[in-house]
């Protein structure tokens, strides 16, 4: 039994007045995840000022048996930063920890604390002619610690990799309050297990990320954005291989959507126009970029790439954005898919991946299968073809009651989609993570050897289970009596 | 107490006659590491034919309490594949497992078993116009499993990263004989801890790597090799930043050596000539490459990069290899440093890294410090400046007796070098690994939090300590009575 008063008194002594609160008005905004699917309760909201305070607080929690839910921008997709209903856990917000500890533009490295917001990071490094090569819709709230804890993705993974690829160094507070310091970036270091990699993507279940050293890239000087019409998703995959060969490192993005999704976006966006005159079964949005000093060749590169694709019969039609305004208009169509689909009514969404080469066949198998099994539904796949990652939405039949459908058919559809993905050796969470949303599905479908190893590592690093309990790591299978 | 006979009988039943032997003539070649520093004994040499056999053998070892020393090409630098003197362990050689399970040239991916030799891999993918972007001196014996288990480096890490960056998927047999299957390459997969990353670089102490899916690159169509004379190592670092900015992804290698090292190589290599007319305090070997379809711009790129470097005063002299023969002659100078230094007499070698920006200051501090403390020694640093990784050799005074010096002053010098590197937040093993050679040094100098986490992970995944005992993971500090 937690001695609530003793714990809170000791925590206040460690963190000061600004550092911890039980005021319901201050705590309440952080008890619900941003998609509004999960709401919990918390013993308190702690907001330490620095790593030393985090370490002291975690040690105090360990001594009192108080569970900890680390929270960054609270804009995750899987409820990973939302406490459970018991009210025994504290929320440990990293929001106050936004210091830049070091910034070396020549080496293209920055060391910052976990609470730094992604958009602030973008702006900060842009002042030095650099960029941080990862972005996503929630950049105004997502922060560095949460991005690392969830190994966030986005639309630039094709060229630059996910968050894991950006992390050169890491600092984290472990379950006993000790500080794991691997912040100094060494390009080569073979002194044993790469524990940093274990923390990336662990969703706060193994340690609390407090700071990181990140790699930066030269700023983009120019881009070419191309919209392409295609006969099939298989043709899109062939075109992708062509573009990778022709454009090499200049290929920054390759996003796909079917005609029906483009139509939904055009219906939803006032004044929006289709980039191509005629409809096509599939569309691809391709972005090429050049860093400063190499921009003059970009136009030629795009032209050559498209001409050879035309000649090889790899596409039906294509248009290059004439200027930056048009380029932004093309991207707006892509970025408006989520709101456009939401406007159509209730749906269940799946963030899935399969090996890139198999994605066309997977979509061509899964879409008719789902639509046949649940008449009146519409299944759509769109997104990051180059990463083998599509967002697979299944829209409810017209007129159903949202909540009942989502709890009934919606759940059954999700289970079916996850079964299919697993049969295709894919992932039920490509970039959004597991959190509490998919933990049971991971337990149901995960490879038993993987699950056993995850549980062994969790037990080793957090033996009392105080770090983000109920998230990510599936419960061991219940013993079933015969 | 191991029941030797029962174990060997059961193992022979599992593996067949070719799969296990105790014949001293067959076992003996694998009892000594290739540098000849460590020799052990073994209960038997097992050579399973496939993953199923590895799994069965490991389960049998677990049941009988038989330790396992996994061995690839037996060309590691740190004695990581050599058994201890007790003779209780088996050597588990992956040499027979060389199958190519899948090869997709379009996707630039290959799935092969652990025993495939690096040079064979190079040749195999070259037939399809591709390359595997990692190479090193021991490529004729080093195999895929060992390269992954040690996270091998080499001269192409600057552009392509070490072995970790090449591994898209992995299969390994865990301590209980279960098979961890993460071979299918998913570009995005956020289903929890990335256990694959934990196995990479774990030197066989957490699991036995049996197969991997590797990324491939387009073959190099053309290269430009440049030799540069420089006033200081700091100037080399400035030039490196310039080349990174000017050449971007075309910069494939950036190696450095001081004049004294070049002189040693010229003395050692019959008929070799210095690339530049005059001596310079430091030299850099720079390689730019272009993949097919982009070769025509490479000459311009090299010229522009060098001209702007000259204008900015970043180098004293430079020569571009006129043809491939001269390019190979330049690289031969670099590749002959190790034999040239060996020919000079006894030395102690250190494979160290510090943050790239600090490497010049580190070398300028360490060289005079070591030479002053041990009069008559000569300290040299050369190698992969772009990776912050130099090989730091300290050559014995003339006329000393090799073995006595290495055991006495040599050990003291190594301890001093490792102390210095640790003070500079660097690594005592940049690319060669820990093995048995540096385990005690890692125990002495490693961060206590890192060491505690390593031990916890080791205990969780190999609770009976049967996987490569005595390697990598330092013993817990002995309890000292006051």
Tell me the DSSP string of A174-227: ETTS-EEEE-S--S---SS--HHHHHTTSTTSSEEEEEEEEE-EEPEEEEEEEE
pTM here?
0.95
Identify the sign of the CA torsion A37, A42, A48, A54: negative
CB contact under 8 A, A461 and B457: yes
Please, are residues A30 and A43 in contact by the beta-carbon 8 Å criterion?
no
Closest CB from B186, B206, B384 relative to A353: B186
DSSP run (H or E) holding B163: helix B163-166
Cβ–Cβ contact A295 with B under 8 A: no
Name beta bridge partners: B211.
B113, B171
Closest CA of chain B from A155, distance in Å: 12
Tokens of A465: 């289970």
Calpha distance B178→A344 (Å, rounded): 47
CB contact under 8 A, A153 and B188: yes
Which residues fall within 8 angstroms of residue A422, CB to CB, at 6 or more apart?
Answer: A428, A445
Locus of tokens 């008194």: A9
Backbone angles phi, psi at B251, to 5 degrees: -75, 110
Question: Could you say which residues from 149 to 188 on chain A have a Cβ atom under 8 Å away from some Cβ of chain B?
Answer: 150-151, 153, 157, 162, 164, 174, 178-182, 184-188
SS3 A143: strand
Average pLDDT over residues B237-249: 92
Say if residue B320's pLDDT is above 60.
Answer: yes
Which residues fall within 8 angstroms of residue B395, CB to CB, at 6 or more apart?
Answer: B341, B344, B345, B346, B347, B377, B378, B379, B380
Question: Could you say which residues from 227 to 256 on chain A have a Cβ atom under 8 Å away from some Cβ of chain B?
Answer: 241, 245-246, 248-249
Q: How confident is the model at residue B56 (pLDDT cuts 50, 70, 90)?
A: very high
Q: Which residues of B touch A446 (CB under 8 A)?
A: 191-192
The pLDDT value given to residue B174: 98
* Residue of chain B nearest A437, judged by CA positions: B191
The pLDDT value given to residue A481: 46
Q: How confident is the model at residue B479 (pLDDT cuts 50, 70, 90)?
A: very low
Locus of tokens 């969470």: A429
* Residue of chain A nearest B147, judged by CA positions: A190
The mean predicted confidence, pLDDT, of chain B is 95
Which residues fall within 8 angstroms of residue A231, CB to CB, at 6 or more apart?
Answer: A280, A281, A282, A316
* Residue of chain B nearest A185, judged by CA positions: B355
Closest CA to A172 of A142, A153, A200, A134: A200
Identify the sign of the CA torsion B205, B210, B215, B220: positive
Calpha distance A452→A475 (Å, rounded): 10
Closest CA to B226 of B335, B161, B299: B299
Q: Which residues of A touch B470 (CB under 8 A)?
A: none
- CB burial of residue B176 (10 Å; 0-12, 13-18, 19+): middle
Could you tell me where the DSSP H helices lie in B312-382? 324-335, 337-343, 359-373
Calpha distance A173→A185 (Å, rounded): 18
The pLDDT value given to residue B268: 96
Residue pLDDT, tens place only, B192-213 = 999 999 999 999 999 999 999 9
Closest CB from B187, B291, B473 relative to A192: B473
Pairing mode of beta strands A347-353, A317-320? unpaired
Residue pLDDT, tens place only, B416-457 = 999 999 999 999 999 999 999 999 999 999 999 999 999 999
Calpha distance A318→A225 (Å, rounded): 11
Cβ–Cβ contact B51 with A under 8 A: no
Q: Which residues of B touch A182 (CB under 8 A)?
A: 450
The pLDDT value given to residue A482: 41
Backbone angles phi, psi at A399, to 5 degrees: 90, -5
Closest CA of chain A from B5, distance in Å: 31
Q: Which of B148, B156, B192, B200 has the most A C-beta neighbours within 10 Å, making it the best mutation to test the interface with A?
A: B192
The pLDDT value given to residue B482: 41
Which residues fall within 8 angstroms of residue B420, CB to CB, at 6 or more apart?
Answer: B362, B365, B366, B369
Q: How confident is the model at residue B305 (pLDDT cuts 50, 70, 90)?
A: very high
Q: Which residues of A touch B429 (CB under 8 A)?
A: 189-191
Closest CB from A293, A430, A442 relative to B192: A442
The pLDDT value given to residue B478: 52
Closest CA to A441 of A474, A393, A407: A474
Tokens of A53: 């305070």
Q: Which of B193, B248, B463 has the most A C-beta neighbours within 10 Å, making it the best mutation to test the interface with A?
A: B193
Cβ–Cβ contact B356 with A under 8 A: yes
Q: Which of A169, A193, A205, A240 has the most B C-beta neighbours within 10 Å, making it the best mutation to test the interface with B?
A: A193
Closest CB from B293, B355, B442 relative to A184: B355
Calpha distance B316→B303 (Å, rounded): 16
Say if residue B87's pLDDT is above 50.
Answer: yes
- The segments of chain A whose pLDDT lies below 70 read 293-295, 477-482
Cβ–Cβ contact A126 with B under 8 A: no
Strand order across the beta sheet in which B90-93 lies? B20-21, B44-46, B90-93, B68-71
Closest CA to A147 of A73, A221, A88, A217: A73
CB contact under 8 A, A189 and B430: yes
Residue pLDDT, tens place only, A317-337 = 999 999 999 999 999 999 999
* Residue of chain A nearest B189, judged by CA positions: A430
Q: Count of A–B CB contacts within 8 Å? A: 223
Closest CA to A81 of A147, A176, A174: A147
Locus of tokens 């009392």: A464
The pLDDT value given to residue B294: 65
Maximum distance among all Cα pairs of chain B, rounded to whole angstroms: 75
Name beta bridge partners: B181.
B171
B433-B434-B438 Cα angle (round to 5): 135
Please, are residues B191 and A446 in contact by the beta-carbon 8 Å criterion?
yes
CB contact under 8 A, A190 and B357: no
Q: At what angle do helices A4-15 and A51-64 cross, to 10 degrees?
A: 170
Closest CB from A153, A203, A450 relative to B180: A450
Say if residue B481's pLDDT is above 70.
Answer: no
Higher pLDDT, B262 or A344: B262
Calpha distance A105→A129 (Å, rounded): 9
Buried b / exposed e along B385-423 (16+ C-beta atoms within 10 A): bbbbbbbbbbbbeeebeeeebbeebbeebbebbbebbbe
CB contact under 8 A, A198 and B197: yes
Question: Could you say which residues from 60 to 89 on chain B have a Cβ atom under 8 Å away from some Cβ of chain A?
Answer: none
Residue pLDDT, tens place only, A263-279 = 999 999 999 999 999 99
The pLDDT value given to residue A477: 66
DSSP B315: -
CB contact under 8 A, B157 and A188: yes
Tokens of B450: 């890192």
CB contact under 8 A, B357 and A428: no
CB contact under 8 A, B357 and A106: yes
Closest CA of chain B from A325, distance in Å: 28
Pairing mode of beta strands A90-93, A68-71? parallel
Average pLDDT over residues B74-82: 96
Tokens of B449: 């939090």
Q: Which of B146, B154, B188 has the most A C-beta neighbours within 10 Å, making it the best mutation to test the interface with A?
A: B188
The pLDDT value given to residue A478: 52
The pLDDT value given to residue B288: 96
Name beta bridge partners: B296.
none
Cβ–Cβ contact B22 with A under 8 A: no
Calpha distance A412→A434 (Å, rounded): 18
Closest CA of chain A from B332, distance in Å: 24
């Amino acid at each position: 039994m937690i001695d609530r008063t003793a714990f809170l008194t000791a925590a206040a002594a460690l963190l000061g007045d600004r550092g911890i609160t039980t005021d319901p008005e201050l705590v309440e905004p952080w008890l619900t995840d941003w998609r509004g699917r999960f709401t919990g309760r918390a013993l308190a909201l702690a907001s330490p000022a620095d790593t030393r305070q985090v370490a002291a607080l975690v040690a105090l929690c360990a001594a009192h048996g108080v569970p900890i839910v680390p929270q960054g921008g609270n804009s995750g997709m899987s409820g990973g930063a939302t406490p459970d209903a018991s009210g025994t856990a504290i929320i440990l917000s990293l929001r106050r920890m936004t210091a830049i500890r070091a910034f070396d533009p020549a080496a293209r490295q920055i060391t910052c604390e976990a609470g730094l917001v992604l958009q602030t990071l973008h702006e900060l490094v842009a002042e030095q002619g650099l960029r941080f090569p990862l972005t996503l819709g929630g950049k105004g709230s997502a922060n560095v610690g949460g991005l690392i804890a969830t190994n966030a993705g986005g639309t630039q993974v094709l060229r630059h990799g996910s968050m894991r690829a950006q992390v050169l160094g890491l600092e984290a507070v472990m379950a006993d309050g000790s500080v794991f310091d691997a912040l100094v970036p060494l390009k080569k270091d073979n002194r044993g297990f790469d524990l940093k990699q274990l923390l990336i993507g662990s969703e706060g279940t193994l340690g609390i990320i407090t700071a990181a050293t990140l790699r930066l890239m030269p700023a983009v000087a120019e881009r070419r954005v191309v919209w392409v019409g295609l006969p099939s998703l298989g043709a899109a995959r062939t075109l992708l291989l062509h573009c990778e060969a022709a454009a090499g490192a200049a290929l920054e993005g390759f996003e796909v959507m079917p005609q029906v999704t483009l139509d939904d976006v055009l219906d939803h966006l006032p004044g929006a126009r289709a980039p191509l005159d005629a409809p096509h079964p599939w569309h691809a949005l391709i972005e090429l970029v050049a860093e400063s000093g190499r921009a003059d060749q970009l136009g030629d590169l795009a032209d050559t790439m498209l001409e050879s694709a035309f000649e090889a019969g790899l596409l039906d039609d294509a248009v290059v954005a004439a200027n930056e305004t048009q380029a932004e208009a093309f991207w707006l169509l892509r970025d408006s898919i989520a709101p456009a689909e939401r406007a159509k009514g209730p749906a269940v969404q799946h963030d899935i991946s399969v090996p890139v080469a198999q994605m066309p066949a997977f979509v061509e198998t899964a879409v008719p299968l789902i639509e046949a099994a649940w008449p009146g539904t519409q299944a759509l796949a769109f997104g990051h073809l180059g990463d083998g990652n599509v967002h697979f939405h299944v829209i409810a039949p017209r007129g159903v009651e949202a909540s009942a459908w989502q709890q009934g058919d919606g759940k059954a559809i999700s289970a079916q989609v996850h079964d299919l993905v697993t049969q295709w050796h894919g992932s039920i969470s490509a970039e959004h993570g597991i959190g509490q949303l998919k933990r049971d599905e991971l337990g149901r479908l995960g490879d038993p050897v993987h699950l056993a190893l995850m549980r062994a590592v969790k037990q080793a690093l957090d033996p009392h289970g105080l770090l983000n309990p109920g998230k990510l790591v599936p419960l061991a299978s219940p013993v079933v009596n015969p």
